[in-house]
Amino acid sequence: MMNISDEKLAQYIRGELPLDEKLYVDKLIESSPEVKRRYEEWKEFFDNLALLSRYTHKPTDHRWKEAIVIKADIERFKKRKLLTEIGIITGVIGSVAATAATLTYYYLVRRKS
């Protein structure tokens, strides 16, 4: 008696069998009413399962929007803070450099005079 496992029938419907095995199952379905009945059961099962991809649920909560706004605010704050710190550091370095230049200038001028 020709027989086939549920696993193979499922793989056949989902297109997961190599060609030779697919052809074998084609023949079985044609020749055995019992295999055909089981095939139709599995087919109905997969058709119903596939329905899920066309159907979605609506979230009741949109917390993610608030979370993104907060995250963006934090990032903006950090960026501004960083820019301020760079500004301060640049200012300090600039002042030190200017003072050093002034002192050097006076020192050189005095030495000459």
Partner 1 sequence: MERISQRHLIKLAKKGNVEAFEKLFSRFERDIYTLAYRILGCREDAEDVLQNVALKMWEHLKDFKGKSSLWTWLYRITVNECMRVLRHRKSHYSLPRHISTPSPDIQLEIEDLLRRLPERERVVILLRDVYNYTFDEIAEMIDTTPGNVRVILHRARKRLKAMWMGGKKHDEHK
* CA R_g for the chain: 39
- In the complex, minimum distance from the CB of residue 110 to partner 1, in angstroms, rounded to a whole number: 54
Closer residue to partner 1, CB minimum distance, 15 or 33: 15
CB contact at 8 A, 22 and 12: yes
Structure tokens at 69: 């706004």
- In the complex, minimum distance from the CB of residue 59 to partner 1, in angstroms, rounded to a whole number: 4
Closer residue to partner 1, CB minimum distance, 41 or 101: 41
Closer residue to partner 1, CB minimum distance, 2 or 68: 68
Give phi and psi for 61, each to the nearest 5: -125, 135
Binding site for partner 1 (CB under 8 A): 6-7, 10, 14, 41-42, 45-46, 48-53, 55-61, 63-65, 67-69, 71-72, 75-76
Structure tokens at 25: 């199952």
Closer residue to partner 1, CB minimum distance, 24 or 42: 42
Its sign, for the CA torsion 35, 37, 42, 44, is positive
